[in-house]
Structure 1
Amino acid sequence: MRNNITEMQFLYTQESISQQFSKEKFCQFLQEDMIFPLKGIRKKYRKNDIIIPEGGTINEIYFIESGHVVAMKDGEKVIDFHAKNEIIGLTNLLLDSQSEYTFQVISNDLVTIRYDKESIIEKVINTQEGYFYHYVHMQNQISQMMDKEELLRLPSEQRISLALFTLVNKFGEATDDPDLICFPKPISKGMIAQYTNLNPNTITNVLQKLQEEDILYPARRAFYIDTFKLQIKLEDAS
């Protein structure tokens, strides 16, 4: 596999690799019937359902079609969030590997396409494209882990502001104003506190300050963020 990755880096730039072998195209690749065809099973979940428990055996891979999932450790530490077009269970290609996290549904509904892990492995290791897709997936995982570590080193207000900026750009709902994005409703203030490793009261105080600065706009059961103003705030703090 390492030889394939080395050859790939000679043929493609890092940017072109990410574009040509994105997570959105990965699912299309798996569903192609020409080589090693796979049959996925669509499965629906409800809020609070656990897809994979921490320590559980992972022999299935999940592609999220709609909805939101939280990855937790020790039942209370929020590590990350996952939504449409993201993959759960592909970090370790070994069969019977154990999950580091609990993956739990936080939206009202979740729809996934579930694949047998053994079939995924066969397609990944026996096709050149498979190596590429898994390489990009792992690079994204490593990048997210490094970003999270850097986030947790920041002062409280900057940490919360950056977390909001990251999450709203990744999972938020667009509005008619390109700068104004609705923060994802399934991600609560409590989850933001766990994600940033801060006290819920600190979250509330910073959200209030952002509101006073006309960066955050509360609405019924939701709030909106002016990402342009928030980006400027983050740049000024760095």
Structure 2
Amino acid sequence: MRNNIAEMEFLYSQESIATQFSRDKFHQFLQEDMIFPLKGVRKKYSKNEIIIPEGEVTNEIYFIESGNVAATKDGENVINFYAENEIIGLTNLLLDSHSEYAFQVISNELFVTKYDKESIIEKVINTQEGYFYHYVHMQNQVSQMIEKEQLLRLPSEQRISLALLILGTKFGEETNDQDLIGFPKSISKGMIGQYTNLNPNTITNVLQKLQEEEIIYPARRAFYVDIFKLEIKLDQVLKK
């Protein structure tokens, strides 16, 4: 494995690695006919369904086609969110491994393509490209963990503001205004609280303050975020 990673870093820059071995290209790679072609099973889930319960043995890997998923710990802590083109279950390639988190559907519906983990392991360890794709996936996972740890160290207002920026940029809906995005309806205020480890009252107070500053704009059952203004606010505060 180390030799393959060293060779990859010699041949490619970090930027080109992320581009050439992206998640969507990994999905295409799995289905290629020339080397170990894999056939996944497409499945639909409804809101609140549990894809993988916490602690359950799982030998399947899921590629999200559409919809949103929350990873939770102990039934109350939201660790992360997953959306289109993201992968669930690839972090641990050991067979019969226990899931560290529960994965629950938070959108109205979710479509995934499900693969047998053993088949993916075979293709990953027997092809050079497979190593590269798994390496990029693990790098992304580490980056997300570091980002989350840094977020949790911030004071309440900055923590919530950064969470809105991260989640809005990742999951939000584009509008006619390039600076304004629709915050994902599937992520409630309660989930923001669980994600940031803050109580609902704190979330409500900070959102009210951001509304007064014209950084967020309420709408029916949702709100919009001015990403440009939010970035300026965070930049000014975090540099102090």
TM-score range, shorter chain: over 0.9
Aligned length: 238
Letter in 2 for 1:123: K
Deviation per CA, 1:190-221, whole angstroms, max 9, x where unpaired?
Answer: 00000000011000000000100011000001
Match of 1:127 in 2: 127
Alignment of 1:3-152 (within 5 A): 3-152=3-152
1:159 aligns to 2:155 (yes or no): no
- Equivalents in 2 of 1:30, 1:222: separation in Å? 37
1:168 aligns to 2:162 (yes or no): no
Match of 1:186 in 2: 186
Question: What TM-score do the two structures reach when normalised by structure 2?
Answer: 0.98
Deviation per CA, 1:121-157, whole angstroms, max 9, x where unpaired?
Answer: 0111111110000000000001100110010000000
1:228 aligns to 2:215 (yes or no): no
- Equivalents in 1 of 2:24, 2:176: separation in Å? 25
Taking only the aligned residue pairs, the percentage that are identical comes to 79
Match of 1:197 in 2: 197
- Equivalents in 2 of 1:237, 1:33: separation in Å? 52
Q: Alpha-carbon deviation of 1:228? A: 0.2
Query: Gaps spanning 5+ residues in structure 2: where?
Result: none
Letter in 2 for 1:48: N
Q: Alpha-carbon deviation of 1:24? A: 1.6
Deviation per CA, 1:53-95, whole angstroms, max 9, x where unpaired?
Answer: 1111120000000000000000100000001000000001111
- Equivalents in 2 of 1:226, 1:89: separation in Å? 33
- Equivalents in 1 of 2:232, 2:188: separation in Å? 24
More moved, 130-139 vs 8-17: 8-17
- Equivalents in 2 of 1:38, 1:119: separation in Å? 7
Q: Alpha-carbon deviation of 1:161? A: 0.1
- The ranges of structure 1 where at least 4 consecutive aligned residues each deviate by more than 3 angstroms after the TM superposition are none
Letter in 2 for 1:25: K
- Equivalents in 2 of 1:173, 1:33: separation in Å? 35
Q: Alpha-carbon deviation of 1:5? A: 0.5
1:35 counterpart SS class:
coil
Letter in 2 for 1:149: E
